[in-house]
Amino acid sequence: MLFIENISFLDVCLALVTLAVAERLVVQYLPEDMVGPEGWLLKTNN
């Protein structure tokens, strides 16, 4: 059985939720020069 056959819809949804929460935490707590409008890690529209 292939590995991809074992991935369920719930697994995909939980992975997306985890990534969204991680992104929110990164944007909230990292310095502005890393995740601000001119940031090198994430660019935001703020």
- pTM value? 0.64
3-state SS, one letter per residue, for the chain: CCHHHHCCHHHHHHHHHHHHHHHHHHHHHCCHHHHCCCCCCCCCCC
For residue 5, the model assigns a pLDDT of 87
Report d(CA 7, CA 27) in Å as an integer: 29
Question: 2-13: per-residue pLDDT in tens?
Answer: 888 899 999 999
- Average pLDDT of the segment spanning 17-46: 82
Report d(CA 26, CA 42) in Å as an integer: 9
Query: What's the mean pLDDT when you consider all of the chain?
Result: 85
